Amino acid sequence: MELLPQLLVNGIISGTLLAIPAIGFTAIFAVLRFPNFSVASHATIGAFAGYAANVWLGLPAAPALIAAFLVAALVGLASDEIALKPLRPYGALTAAIASIALTIVLENMVRFGFGNELRGYDLPLVRDWRIAGVRVGPQQVQNLVLALIIMAAVFAALKFTRIGKAMRAVADNPTLAELKGIDPVRVGRLTVFIAMGLVGAGGMLLGLGTSIDPLTGFRFILPIFAAAVVGGLGSIPGAALGAMVVGIGEELSVLVLSPSYKSAVGFVAIVLVLAFRPRGLLGERAY
């Protein structure tokens, strides 16, 4: 079918964008061992911070992305200290449920400040290129490149920096890491900061192609969670791979079923993956 290559390209693009917040989500899981659903509101906060930098301050996309990262990272750190960290000793699920309540609070703080109006970034829009019958947007290519740069930076940091090594050590074995003199609280804070920053940047990248409102992040929470699970919760390369599977799977589903069942097809794909690999595609090693 002539549509197939086009759908594949669409899927790769949406998968790459999804990968950034999915990496943030899974990094928190790897180090702090709980699914932090407040990534939904942090993606929204990042998207709005980027909007403020782009539209109010007139910054281009790349510096606006840094603003998105920083604001979401700081809000993430602060809200984690206040709401979630004290609850973590009482179990992963208690913290997970509290993170949902936190999402309600943060999402509505954005609503309180910005209202419900749809907002668009102030970026020039260009029509898609057509390459061998397949269309792809210059802006999407730009987003794709930005996403790939971010991912490369994350992987390099994990592999080569002391902080990255400490994170991996805590993720692999917290007790052992502590014995070796790594402070788990500090590593936890750093993880939250970087992970929520990634989620915020990802929220802005996802918002660039559409328009944003206080529900922006909420629309992505299911695919983010799904991507992390498919790849293997806690595995950072897994989250990137899982995002690809979810992104491509959802787009290709249009060929099989009515698009009104798009996310259902995504879920069936997840169940199939889990049936053969109950711990996700890449298992649960952080790196």
Partner 1 sequence: MHSLNRRVFLGTAAAALSAPAILKAQSDAIKLGSLTPLTGVGGTYGPSMRDAISGVIAQVNEAGGVLGREITLVSEDTQTSPEAAVRAARKLIDVDGVSAIMGTWASSITTAVAPLAWESQTMLLCVSGADSITQLPHQGFICRTQPNSKLQIRVAGDFMVEEGATQMAWIGPQTPFAASSIEILEEIAAANGAGMESLIYEADKSTYRSEVDQILVNNPDFLMLGGYAADSTVLLRDIWQSGYEGKIIGPAYAVNQTVLDALPPEVTENVFTWEGAPAIDSGAYANVQAILGVEDVDPYSAQTYDHASLAILAMAAGGDVTGDTIRQNIRAVSQGEGQMVESAVDGLAGLEGGINYSGASGPCDFDEIGDITGTSFVFKQISGAAAAEFKRV
Partner 2 sequence: MLSYLLATLTFAGVYALLALGLNVIWGMAGMINLGLAGFFALGAYASALATVALGLPIALGIVIAIAAAALAGALLSRLTLNLRGDYLAIVTLGFGEVIRLIAANEIWLTNGSDGIPGIPGPFRGALTPLQFNALSCGLLLLAVALAWFLTERLRRSPYGRALRAIRDDETAAAVAGKPVRLYKVQAFAIGAGLLGLAGAAYAHFTSYVAPDIFRPLLTIYIFLALTAGGTGNTSGAVLGAFLVIVILEGSRFIEPMFHGMSGAQGAALREIIIGSVLIFVMRIRPEGLLAERPPKPVEP
Give the integer Cα–Cα distance in Å for 56 and 67.
12
List of residues contacting partner 1 (CB under 8 A):
2-3, 6-7, 10-11, 13-14, 108, 111, 115-120, 124-125, 127-128, 130, 135, 137, 206, 209-211, 213-216, 219-220, 251, 254, 258-263
Q: How far is the CB of 128 from partner 2 (least distance, A)?
A: 30
Stretch binding partner 2 (CB under 8 A), from 106-114, 134-142, 144-152, 191-199: 106-114
32 three-state secondary structure? helix
Q: Which of residues 223-252 bind partner 2 (CB under 8 A)?
A: 225-226, 229, 233
- Out of partner 1, partner 2, none, what residue 287 binds, judged by CB under 5 to 8 A for its kind, is none
Up-side HSE of residue 256: CA atoms within 13 Å toward CB?
A: 13
* Closest by Cα among 169, 171, 153, 208 to 13: 208
Asked if 212 contacts 44 with a C-beta cutoff of 8 angstroms, the reply is yes
- Which residue is listed with tokens 């949902």? 100
| Residue number with CB closer to partner 1 (3 or 78) | 3
115: contact with partner 2 by CB under 8 A: yes
| Residue number with CB closer to partner 1 (192 or 245) | 245
- Out of partner 1, partner 2, none, what residue 155 binds, judged by CB under 5 to 8 A for its kind, is none
| Token pair for 57 | 């301050």
Give the integer Cα–Cα distance in Å for 275 and 280.
9
212 three-state secondary structure? strand
Q: How far is the CB of 33 from partner 1 (least distance, A)?
A: 29
| Token pair for 115 | 């209202």
| DSSP H or E stretch at residue 229 | helix 221-231
Binding site for partner 2 (CB under 8 A): 29, 35, 83, 86-87, 89-90, 93-94, 97-98, 100-105, 107-109, 111-112, 115-116, 222, 225-226, 229, 233, 258, 260-261, 263-264, 266-268, 270-271, 274, 278-280
